[in-house]
Amino acid sequence: MKRLRVAIAYNSYEEAQHEAASSDSSSGHHLRLMIRRMARTLRGLGHDVVIIHLAGDLSKLQRKLKRLRPHVIFNQYDDVVHGALYEMRFAAFIRMLGYPITGSPALALGLSRDKYMALSLMKGAGIPIPSDTTLLERVSAVDGHKWHFPLIVHPGQEHAGIGMGRDSVVHTKKALRDQVRQVIGSYKQPALVQGFLPGREFNVGILGGRKLRVMPLAEVDYTRLPQGIPPIMSYAAKWVETSVEFKRTRVICPARVEPSLAALISDTAARAFRVIGGWGYGRVDVRLDEDGLPRVLEVNCNPCLDKGIGLARSAERAGISYPELLQAVIRAAFEGPPYDMHLPIFSTKPDAAPRRRRTRRQPVKRPV
């Protein structure tokens, strides 16, 4: 790949820094460290890199991009306000300006945050999802359904484990009402209710544009959690390094799985990613039901790209170094997504960069 001018854009809205504790690895401090690591890695590949921090004023961003004239925007914009859906708006804005952008397009980002809509699409496409998947906008709506306990309750428009805690798995209708009330009251959004799946949980990393490559499976191991703490990827388990959940939850990669089951999980995850419209890179969370069959929990279109964890860890197990991973993400930005017409509202005209090609979706490449 030729030398490029890459603009890494991320959300620096101050609320994220005010709310996060020092032990919280989702804090603004940790985010900035990750962005700097990414910038150093891309510079090591020979690219010119500038970091753009956004705090709400897109008109300033437009002027800055016009001055910098980057070949591609490396999208690391992440919502930090509960219920905000600006990730999709930011991606749409960048495409309206005419710049290629890494990761998934605006519609896919919106769908991955509107969990019920995404799950409904997957169900319609024949992809298995948890039973009892229901969106509740009022506490009184609990009485309008026949439930099969245990259930899990979480905010319908959040990600990164936000709103998931020790009370999220419920076993009675009273506990269900209480948790729905808590979600609606605290996060100002509907509550998503699903049947709680008893089986093993897997994170499935995906890389590529026209040709998807599924990374070696990673299993979330909850076996060391004490009784009374549900085996779920809660906010504490993801981010709070001092919590019991964080200390007692580990990820095993590559997962020890029978080849036939691994192939089924990989195929299910890849189909889910395509149904949502994911592109470039992603992660699909899958859990086994009582029959040992995979069901999709959610599709994360632009997951964390930090070195040594998550997708980067799975890619490393597949023989893909961290610099190669970031390079592949950029390459996919110039490929497509398919049928994404290049119709900028404003003229940008950066220097020549790799051409975007009209692409058609190709068969998924799975690990051997």
**pTM for the full predicted model:** 0.89
Instruction: Give the model's pLDDT for residue 81.
Output: 64
Asked if residue 104 lies in contact with residue 282, where contact means CB atoms within 8 angstroms, the answer is yes
Q: What is the rounded CA–CA span in Å between residue 233 and residue 287?
A: 11
Q: Do 93 and 144 belong to one domain?
A: no
Find the domain containing 164 and state its range.
129-195
Q: Do 147 and 89 belong to one domain?
A: no
Other residues' Cβ atoms within 10 Å of the Cβ of residue 164 = 24
Give buried/exposed letters for 55-75 (b at 16+ CB in 10 A, else e): eeeeeebbeebeeeebbbbbb
Q: Do 23 and 73 belong to one domain?
A: yes
The whole-angstrom distance between residue 21's C-alpha and the CA centroid of its chain comes to: 22
Q: Say if residue 349's pLDDT is above 60.
A: no
Q: Is residue 173 part of a domain?
A: yes
Q: Do 12 and 89 belong to one domain?
A: yes
Q: Is residue 26 part of a domain?
A: yes
Alpha helix stretches (DSSP H) within the chain = 15-19, 28-44, 58-68, 86-97, 106-113, 115-124, 173-187, 235-239, 244-248, 259-276, 310-317, 322-335
Q: Is residue 159 part of a domain?
A: yes
Q: Looking at residue 186, which CATH number applies to its domain?
A: 3.30.1490.20
C-alpha separations of 96 from 91, 100, 355 in Å: 9, 10, 17
Residue at a domain's end among 137, 162, 195: 195
Q: What is the pLDDT of residues 46-93, one digit of tens each?
A: 999 999 988 767 788 889 999 999 999 999 998 766 556 678 999 999
% of the chain surpassing 70 pLDDT: 88
Q: Looking at residue 35, which CATH number applies to its domain?
A: 3.40.50.20
If one counts the domains in the chain, the total is 2
Residue at a domain's end among 179, 195, 211: 195
Q: Do 77 and 134 belong to one domain?
A: no
Burial degree of 220 (CB within 10 A; 0-12, 13-18, 19+):
buried
